[in-house]
């Protein structure tokens, strides 16, 4: 009898232990799910807020009232939407350096501003997009990229989106998206005509107003998320603006 009671007690203890472990595991899973849901909710809220700011900027750029109309002059402006504060900046895109057309010395000048090994990374950019497989003295071609994990190949064509720069030797997300300027994303473009590095203090001589057919960059920051869009001003079309490029990122 006592043997049976002992076995029963051991069985009960095992059941209690298993139930306790199940409760702990379930609690951890619930906390993980709740935390993930809260994180998703914050991200979705920032996303919607930033795009609301982008649409608001497009509207204010074309207001008929000159006092209320925004000028694409690079001035940082503040918006409040649903009680949240946004920073918005609109500026001409053609003043930035075009990485598809710039020469090595111009690229090196911009890369030096963001603290990179200027000559090495400039040559790596040129190697990444040229058609041959012969690396420049400080550059990198297919042999280098095939040795990475995972391996990949240079695009051997002009860059199509700015994110492709992340695959170039010497460039990472911190350089492209960092929170504090200068960040590479702010200095280069694929849609402007400039092939030489802008000089310090250089400004556009024309009046800061929208020009038909010209590209403009709109940057909206919620404090956590940044949305950047390059749009073309086409006043005689239904949408007035055509989006050429758009990206979202969390500054590091």
| Rounded Cα gap, residues 56 and 59, in angstroms | 5
pLDDT at residue 36, rounded to an integer:
42
Between 200 and 106, the more confident residue is: 106
- Tens digits of residue pLDDT in 117-133: 999 999 999 999 999 99
Q: Which residues pair with 72 in a beta bridge?
A: none
Show the DSSP H helices in 132-200 as ranges: 142-146, 173-177, 184-187
| Rounded Cα gap, residues 25 and 235, in angstroms | 59
The residues, ordered by sequence, that sit 6+ positions from 202 with a Cβ below 8 Å of its Cβ are 95
pLDDT at residue 179, rounded to an integer:
86
Structure token pair of residue 143: 């042999």
In this structure, are residues 241 and 58 in contact, taking their beta carbons and an 8 Å threshold?
yes
| Residue 87 clears pLDDT 90, i.e. is over it | yes
- Tens digits of residue pLDDT in 149-203: 999 999 999 999 999 999 999 999 999 999 888 999 999 999 987 888 666 555 5
| Residue 58 clears pLDDT 70, i.e. is over it | yes
Average pLDDT (194-223) is 80
| Rounded Cα gap, residues 220 and 90, in angstroms | 9
Going by C-alpha positions, the residue among 71, 50, 113 that lies closest to residue 247 is: 50
CATH numbers and ranges of domains, the chain: 68-95+204-252 (no CATH), 97-187 (1.10.40.60)
């Amino acid at each position: 009898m006592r043997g049976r009671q002992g076995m029963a007690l051991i069985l009960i203890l095992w059941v209690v232990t298993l139930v306790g472990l199940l409760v702990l595991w379930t609690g951890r899973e619930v906390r993980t799910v709740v935390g993930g849901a809260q994180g998703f909710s914050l991200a979705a809220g920032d996303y919607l807020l930033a795009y609301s700011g982008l649409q608001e900027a497009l509207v204010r750029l074309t207001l008929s009232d000159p006092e209320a109309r925004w000028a694409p002059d690079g001035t940082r402006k503040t918006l409040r939407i649903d009680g949240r504060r946004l920073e918005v900046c609109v500026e001409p895109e053609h003043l930035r350096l075009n990485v598809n057309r710039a020469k090595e010395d111009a690229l090196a000048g911009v890369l030096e501003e963001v603290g990179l090994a200027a000559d090495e990374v400039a040559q790596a950019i040129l190697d990444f997009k040229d058609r041959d497989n012969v690396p420049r003295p400080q550059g990198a071609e297919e042999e280098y990229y095939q040795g990475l994990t995972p391996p990949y190949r240079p695009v051997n064509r002009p860059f199509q989106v700015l994110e492709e720069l992340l695959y170039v030797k010497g460039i990472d997300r911190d350089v492209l998206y960092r929170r504090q300027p200068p960040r590479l994303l702010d200095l280069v473009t694929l849609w402007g005509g400039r092939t030489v590095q802008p000089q310090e203090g250089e400004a556009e001589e024309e009046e800061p107003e929208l020009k038909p057919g010209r590209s403009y960059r709109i940057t909206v920051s919620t404090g956590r998320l940044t949305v950047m869009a390059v749009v073309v001003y086409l006043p005689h079309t239904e949408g007035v603006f055509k989006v050429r490029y758009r990206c979202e990122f969390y500054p590091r």
